[in-house]
């Protein structure tokens, strides 16, 4: 048999499999309807396990594992498509739908919270997004979360990840213990400068102060000049500290911070990699659905990283959404169990996004909807 | 129709799908054989795209996306099972097979490199794993990688993740620029102590020195006592520094470090979460296959996080391996593209593990086999 003949036979088989798949989906709809009429739960783990076990027994030895994976996927697809016909809304989905239907508008002149002191990168990001807003500075990341949660400010700006240093762990940790919604993201090019009091020469500088990530992003420069790294709460506060010290210290900060605190720029663009970007999130106490949003932020814990992650990705594939971010953080137990932060494409004003969020919140006990924003 | 009748029909359809799946697998074998005989490449992206497109056209509208996912999975399974019959070894696999066949034995009395100074947690981990070995201390993580790569030492110990603070970014960054194999892992319970020069009282302490992660893991204690955080290269070096300073500074370090540098323990177990564990890896220039190893370490870059990650997880599912770790780090470009570190169950002495590694290295251009160790 030549290649074309074999392929013709494969195509015929594929057509038959597709026909059977469609028939199966019709029957599954019947099951869903029966369950709805009789108030039975949609998912039936035992029944799934029985099917997989039987398939494993019936399959030839060499194809057993493959057949099991195929039927797990088949049942996952069934469940996703059933979700589209059954409206079994979770409390999270109901609250989300209420927000969507009430069309809340964000405040026209928001009060914006930023961490650090004036001139910090987060301050610059806040200014970029809200040029005319009143910006209030708070000492720590946690203070920004607290102010947003307490309703003291309309929104808060926080750094979330850098293209070189990775995610900002402290912000992720604070996300777990606060209630908020992400409504925007901001991307800023980071151009680190080595700054000192006027008259200081580079060769006199012994210690350099900055935020952890600033130090990490300039590690090659710091190493080449044999400087001692000193961690500071943020880059602009480091500039302020250096401006007040009488020792020949330097700060790694933005050109704006140098100007703000009367420092001289000794070297510009000292980051290891020139293309250095930081992304920031804008959080609020309320969700403001926006037709321009294109990314849904969520967090979830998975009992078993393999199977569960695979099943989750099946849902995304069936819904046709793209996973734009996957980030795992330890929960903090002996087994190194993790919490996943997953961002995917979607807008809560679309029914399909609501269905997917509902599906996830129904199936995963640790699921949390964190917001909807335009990826920038 | 009642539930049992519908289920009976579903079971009949499942039986037919399974039969067609097995027939299809036989035909696919024929394709593989034809290709092998005619020296054609095994994978044919265009043919796959054509099949998915045709399925999409033939499927009903409501099941279209589900049908496409089902057939993508079906073709992924086919490819995995084809890999088991076709032996098209990549250069990485060939080199790995050569190592496996030569049965290299690790040195009986290894020289072990550890970062920091005597008493550091990594030193303690090294002592735990190699009680009688000669341990050489190197200033920085990078120095340990360099010494291993240059063959100056037999192996190096490095912290890789903490159950609370997460992964050690610096070590992951260094992994990208060095050649090495992971042969062991070590887990150590971390019990942080606040230590100062004898006679110092807690209320006099103003500044506390430690490694970034040490400071992060004790952030609540530091905050409650209003201490200024000072980053130091590692916990034991911080203890040494504090022992030499005349100011009322304190260090966060192990009880062993306190003893080593003549410090007094002011408070014990000051970490935020009592259950605080750090995992270490042991790296060598050579791979030493060991029947006790149960985890394969790899790194890879994925062009498109959605589809590719899903396809990858299909491979794991078909091979019956468990994904034990997934960690993503930015490559450092504008698009926040990431490198994935994936650990999964397996031992290179088993044929099935070799097949999976070969499959991955054939399909993913950025794939790197990083080692095989016993998860502890």
Percent of chain A with pLDDT over 90: 58
Residue A99: active-site member: no
How far are the Cα atoms of B161, B163, B190 from residue B276, in angstroms, in the given order? 11, 6, 5
**Element holding B281 (H helix, E strand):** strand B277-284
Q: Tell me phi and psi for residue A248, to 5 degrees.
A: -80, 65
> Binning pLDDT at 50, 70 and 90, where does residue B11 land?
very high
Question: What is d(CA A284, CA A290) in angstroms, rounded to the nearest whole number?
Answer: 14
Task: Say yes or no for a CB contact (<8 Å) between B69 and A319.
Answer: no
Dig out the tokens for A310 from the structure: 């695979």
pLDDT of amino acid B30: 87
B208 touches A at CB < 8 Å? no
What is the average pLDDT across B143-168? 90
Where do we find the tokens 């019959």? B85
Does the distance separating the beta carbons of B310 and A1 come in below 8 Å?
Answer: no
pLDDT exceeding 70 applies to what percent of chain A?
Answer: 94
| CA separation, residue B211 to residues A152, A332, B335 (Å) | 35, 19, 31
> Cβ distance B269 to B194 under 8 Å?
no
Tell me the sheet residues that pair with B189: B277
Closest by alpha carbon to A106, among A160, A184, A171, A175? Answer: A184
**Looking at the predicted structure, is the pLDDT value of residue B306 above 60?**
no
> Are the Cβ atoms of B34 and A9 closer than 8 angstroms?
no
Distance of alpha carbon B162 from the chain centroid: 13
Tokens 């995995």 belong to: B80
Count contacts between A and B (CB, < 8 Å).
253
Residues A319-362 pLDDT 10s: 888 888 888 777 766 666 778 888 999 999 999 899 899 988 88
Which has the minimum average pLDDT: A84-98, A100-114, B356-370?
A84-98
- A window 11-30, beta carbon within 8 A of B: 11, 13-18, 20-25, 27-28, 30
Q: Is the pLDDT of residue B311 over 60?
A: yes
Q: Distance from A77 to chain B by nearest Cα, in Å? A: 6
The pLDDT value recorded for residue B210 is 93
User: What average pLDDT does range B256-284 have in this prediction?
Assistant: 92
CA distance A123 to A237: 12
CA of A205, closest CA in chain B: separation in Å? 18
Q: Given an 8 Å threshold on Cβ–Cβ distance, is A11 in contact with B212?
A: no
Among A59, A270, A46, A225, which residue's Cα sits nearest to residue B14?
A59
B34 contacts on A by Cβ (under 8 Å): 2-3, 6
Nearest to B332 among A65, A164, A306 (CB): A164
B15 vs A164: CB contact, 8 Å cut-off? Answer: no
Q: What pLDDT is stored for residue B282 in this prediction? A: 98
Closest of B42, B84, B91, B25 to residue B353, by C-alpha: B84
How far, in whole angstroms, is CA B107 from its chain's centroid?
25
Is the pLDDT reported for residue B304 higher than 60?
no
**Which of B229, B317, B334 lies at the smallest CB-CB distance from A163?**
B334
Residue B280 annotated as catalytic: yes
Name every chain A residue with its beta carbon within 8 A of the beta carbon of B328. Answer: 326-328
Q: Give how far Cα A113 sits from Cα of A116, A126, A283, Å.
A: 10, 8, 10
Measured distance CA(A300)–CA(A364) in Å, rounded:
7
Tens of pLDDT, residues B229-259: 888 878 999 999 999 999 999 999 999 999 9
A257 contact B CB<8A: no
Query: Looking at residue B59, what DSSP letter applies?
Result: S
Q: Give me A255's structure tokens.
A: 């050109």
Cβ contact A13–B7 (<8 Å): no
Q: Is B104 on the interface with A (CB under 8 A)?
A: no
Distance from B308 to chain A by nearest Cα, in Å?
Answer: 11
Cβ of A334 under 8 Å from any chain B Cβ? yes
| Alpha carbon of B166: minimum distance to chain A alpha carbons (Å) | 6
Strand A207-210 relative to strand A250-253: parallel, antiparallel, unpaired?
parallel
In this complex, the residue of B77, B306, B322 whose CB is nearest that of residue A323 is B306
From the list B130, B145, B280, B369, the catalytic residue is B280
Least confident of A79-88, B54-63, B115-124, B220-229: A79-88
pLDDT for A251 equals 97
- pLDDT of residue A371 exceeding 60: yes
Interface contact B313-A309, CB threshold 8 A: yes
Asked if B169 lies within 8 A of A164 by C-beta distance, the reply is no
Number of CB atoms found within 10 A of residue B313's CB: 24
Mean of all residue pLDDT scores within chain B: 89
What are the residues whose beta carbons fall under 8 Å from the beta carbon of B50, sequence distance 6 or more? none
The kind and range of the H/E element at B301 are strand B295-301
**A125-140 pLDDT, tens per residue?**
999 999 999 999 998 8
For an interface test with A, the pick among B26, B73, B165 (most A C-beta atoms closer than 10 Å) comes out as: B73
Please pick, among B278, B295, B314, B353, the residue that the annotation labels catalytic: B278
B140 touches chain A (CB under 8 A): no
Q: In the prediction, which pLDDT does A84 show?
A: 65
- For residue B74, give the chain A residue with the closest CA: A70
Whether B21 contacts A14, CB under 8 Å: no
User: Which residue is listed with tokens 């034995």?
Assistant: B105
> For residue A110, what is the DSSP state?
-
Residue from A28, A37, A317, A346 whose CB has the most chain B CBs within 10 Å, to mutate: A317
Is A181's pLDDT higher than 80?
A: yes
| Band of pLDDT at residue B332, cut at 50, 70 and 90 | low
What pLDDT is attached to residue A180?
A: 97
- Interface predicted TM-score (ipTM) over 0.95: no
Q: Which of B80, B279, B329 sits opposite A166 (nearest CB)?
A: B329
Decide if B180 contacts B150 (C-beta within 8 A). no
Percentage of chain B modeled with pLDDT above 90: 58
Q: How far is Cα A76 from Cα B112, in angstroms, rounded to an integer?
A: 49
pLDDT tens track for B70-102:
999 999 888 887 766 666 788 899 999 999 999
Which one has a higher pLDDT value, A164 or B68? B68
**B161 contacts in A (CB within 8 Å)?**
330, 336
Residues in chain B: 376
B33 touches chain A (CB under 8 A): no
Cα angle B142, B147, B148 (rounded to 5 degrees) comes to 100
Query: How many other C-beta atoms can be found within 10 angstroms of the C-beta atom of residue A34?
Result: 14
Backbone angles phi, psi at B152, to 5 degrees: -70, -30
> What are the pLDDT digits (tens) for B340-349?
888 999 999 9
Cα gap B283→B178, rounded to integer Å:
11
Of the ranges A115-124, A273-282, B150-159, the best mean pLDDT one: B150-159
Model confidence band, residue A204 (pLDDT cutoffs 50, 70, 90): very high
At A130 the pLDDT is: 96
User: pLDDT grade, residue A234 (50/70/90)?
Assistant: confident
In terms of Cβ atoms closer than 10 Å to its own Cβ (0-12, 13-18, 19+), residue B66 is: buried
Residue B303: pLDDT band (50, 70, 90) is low
Transcribe A77-92 into DSSP letters.
HHHHHHHTT-----HH
Residue B217: its pLDDT value, please? Answer: 84
Residue B279 parent element (H or E): strand B277-284
Give the max Cα distance, chain B: 87
Instruction: Give the model's pLDDT for residue B45.
Output: 76
Interchain CB contact of A202 with B (< 8 Å): no
Mean pLDDT in chain A? 89
Chain B residues near residue A332 by CB distance under 8 angstroms: 163-164, 273, 275
Q: Would you call A352 an interface residue with chain B, using a CB distance cutoff of 8 Å?
A: no
Asked if A357 and A372 touch (Cβ cutoff 8 Å), the reply is no
What pLDDT score does B17 carry?
97
Least Cα distance to A254 among A360, A121, A355, A352 occurs for A121
Question: A292 or B172: whose pLDDT is higher?
Answer: A292
Contact A305 B324 (CB under 8 A): yes
**A65: Cβ contacts below 8 Å, ≥ 6 apart:** B317, B318, B319, B320
Residue B336: pLDDT band with limits 50, 70, 90: low
- How far is B323 from chain A, CA to nearest CA, in Å? 5
Domains of chain A: 3-83 (1.20.59.10), 89-104+290-376 (3.30.70.260), 193-270 (3.40.190.10)
Q: Which of B18, B59, B307 sits opposite A18 (nearest CB)?
A: B59
The DSSP annotation for B208-246 comes to EEE-HHHHHHTHHHHHHTTPEEEE-S-HHHHHHHHHH-S
Strand A295-301 to A368-373 pairing:
antiparallel
- Answer yes or no: is pLDDT of B2 > 60: yes
What percent of chain B clears pLDDT 70, i.e. is strictly above it?
Answer: 94
What does the longest C-alpha to C-alpha distance in chain A come to? Answer: 86
Taking the C-alpha atoms of residue A299 and residue A317, their distance in angstroms, rounded to an integer, is 18
């Amino acid at each position: 048999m030549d290649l074309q003949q074999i392929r013709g036979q494969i195509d015929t088989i594929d057509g038959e499999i597709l026909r059977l798949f469609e028939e199966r989906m019709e029957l599954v709809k019947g099951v869903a309807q029966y369950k709805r009429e009789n108030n039975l739960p949609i998912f039936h783990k035992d029944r799934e396990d029985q099917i997989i076990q039987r398939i494993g027994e019936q399959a030839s030895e060499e194809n057993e594992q493959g057949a099991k994976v195929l039927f797990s996927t088949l049942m996952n697809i069934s469940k996703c498509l059933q979700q589209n016909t059954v409206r079994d809304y979770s409390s999270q989905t109901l609250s989300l739908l209420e927000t969507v239907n009430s069309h809340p508008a964000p405040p026209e002149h928001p009060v914006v919270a930023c961490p650090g002191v004036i001139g910090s990168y987060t301050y610059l990001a806040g200014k970029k997004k809200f040029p005319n807003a009143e910006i209030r500075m708070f000492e720590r990341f946690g203070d920004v979360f607290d102010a947003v949660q307490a309703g003291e400010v309309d929104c808060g700006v926080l750094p979330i990840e850098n293209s070189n240093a990775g995610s900002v762990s402290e912000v992720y940790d604070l996300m777990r213990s606060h209630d908020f919604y992400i409504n925007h993201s901001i991307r800023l090019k980071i151009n680190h400068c080595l700054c000192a009091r006027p008259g200081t020469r580079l060769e006199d500088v012994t210690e350099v102060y900055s935020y952890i990530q600033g130090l990490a992003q300039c590690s090659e420069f710091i190493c080449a000049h044999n400087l001692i790294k000193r961690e500071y709460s943020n880059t602009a506060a480091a500039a302020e500290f250096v401006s007040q010290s009488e020792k020949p210290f330097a700060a790694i900060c933005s050109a704006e911070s140098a100007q703000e605190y009367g420092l001289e720029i000794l070297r510009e663009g000292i980051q290891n990699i020139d293309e250095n970007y930081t992304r920031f999130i804008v959080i609020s106490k309320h969700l403001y659905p926006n037709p321009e949003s294109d990314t849904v932020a969520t967090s979830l814990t998975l009992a078993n990283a393999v199977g569960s992650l695979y099943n989750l990705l099946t849902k995304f594939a069936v819904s046709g959404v793209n996973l734009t971010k996957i980030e795992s953080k330890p929960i903090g137990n002996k087994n190194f169990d993790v919490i996943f932060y997953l961002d995917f494409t979607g807008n809560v004003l679309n029914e399909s996004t609501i269905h997917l969020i509902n599906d996830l919140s129904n199936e995963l006990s640790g699921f949390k909807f964190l917001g909807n924003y335009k990826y920038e």
